[in-house]
A = this chain, B = another copy of it.
Amino acid sequence: MALIVQKYGGTSVGSTDRIKNVARRVAKHKAQGHDLVVVLSAMSGETNRLIGLAKEIQANPDPRELDVIVSTGEQVTIGLLVMALKELGIEAVSYTGGQVKILTDSSHTKARIQHIDDANMRADLNAGKVVVVAGFQGVDANGNITTLGRGGSDTSGVALAAALKADECQIYTDVDGVYTTDPRVVPEAKKLKTITFEEMLEMASLGSKILQIRSVEFAGKYNVKLRVLSSFQEEGEGTLITFEEDSTVEKPVISGIAFNRDEARVNVIGVPDKPGIAYQILGPIADANIDVDMIIQNVGQDGTTDFSFTVPKGELARTVKVLEGVQAQIGGKSVSGDDKICKVSIVGVGMRSHVGVASTMFRTLAEEGINIQMISTSEIKISVVLDEKYLELAVRVLHKAFGLDRVA
């Protein structure tokens, strides 16, 4: 008998029929003798509907009141699931974030969990009840309703698993696990049985939208065993996110290939090659609240250098405008932007102990005539920026080159 936290996302509870399916799955695990805490998102589309109402009134909705409004989405689904469980003869009880209580800081719309009171949940579990908790939400020290930001229900699930010292946190979603890459791009993509936390972090932050990145960090920090499963398949072990590289199994050097179509490249040409130039360029960008991803600066020649970085596509125009405003001050020759790019990354803890991974990547791309615009590396990841028309081709040939289509 184990204590399991199960988190179901918006599509898994998108209709009353789907909620009944979730109830049946919970009932099955309960019948196996497990204690269960279930964390739910709002019905798919509901959070957007509520934000839409708010925006009809305020273009930039007041954060405190927005939290009051959007937190209702999860409050509806927890009530519905408890009803569905009772229809199956299973005792259950629902809790809002405030009722648990899940204490957060006061950063409305992006609050961080500070503490979880497990007393009520423990009492209910001991009484044989299934505990159903609203994801995505908490309450601050003054009793104000807070939310954790998009995808925050994953974080709620992991935080509850940590607080309850659960044996496993299962994230049910509309995919049946983590794949070597997006199967829509490479049909030969294979489901991974395991992936390490570090790899998952790189995959998540590089555009694999399976898990909210904060929930993965949280799970790593508190040693929560995390598993991604499909809520639409009856069987299947999903993908287990592990703490250590599984050394007993022969694995490919690379675990997966992530990609991102949503970035644009900015070039600042001919800036003086002197200390402080990076700050002079990126300071105004940060002040304008624009997220910067890859940053490349080459060794300069003739006392000048070129500086490049990527921003979200939607921010490109604003970024260029900000830089043009400070160009005279910086002393650069020109500022240009390109939104017809993509980023492709290979991820794997295996590259730590294998030489030649980078050269395999670059050779594979060169053989297809694909020009690399930017390169950025971390200990377990190599990212390249390419012309966006090459995205599918690049992912496909890299997938094959690293033997990912042969993953067991």
Indicate if the CB atoms of B53 and A76 lie closer than 8 Å. yes
Residues of B within 8 A of A50 (CB): 76
CB distance from A186 to the nearest CB of B (A): 40
CB distance from A185 to the nearest CB of B (A): 37
Residues of B within 8 A of A69 (CB): 75-76, 79-80
Indicate if the CB atoms of B62 and A80 lie closer than 8 Å. no
Which of B64, B75, B83 contacts A72, CB < 8 Å? B75
**How many residues of A are counted as interface, with CB atoms below 8 angstroms from the partner's CB atoms?**
36
Indicate if the CB atoms of B57 and A68 lie closer than 8 Å. no
> A182 near B: Cβ within 8 Å?
no
Indicate if the CB atoms of B84 and A57 lie closer than 8 Å. yes
Indicate if the CB atoms of B83 and A57 lie closer than 8 Å. yes
Indicate if the CB atoms of A86 and B62 lie closer than 8 Å. yes
CB distance from A133 to the nearest CB of B (A): 12
Complex: chain B residue closest to A71, CB-CB:
B75
Q: Which of A94-102, A223-231, A288-296 contacts B (4 or more CB under 8 A)?
A: A94-102
Indicate if the CB atoms of A54 and B83 lie closer than 8 Å. yes
> A268 near B: Cβ within 8 Å?
no
Residues of A in contact with B (beta carbons under 8 Å apart): 16, 19-20, 50, 53-54, 56-58, 61-62, 64-66, 68-69, 71-72, 75-76, 78-80, 82-84, 86-87, 93-94, 96, 98-99, 143-145
Additional A-B contacts beyond A54-B83, A69-B80 (17; CB < 8 A): A16-B56, A50-B76, A54-B80, A57-B80, A57-B83, A58-B86, A58-B87, A62-B82, A62-B86, A66-B83, A68-B78, A68-B96, A69-B79, A72-B72, A72-B75, A72-B76, A75-B75
Q: List 9 A-B contacts (CB under 8 A).
A: A53-B80, A58-B83, A62-B86, A65-B86, A68-B75, A69-B75, A69-B76, A72-B76, A75-B75
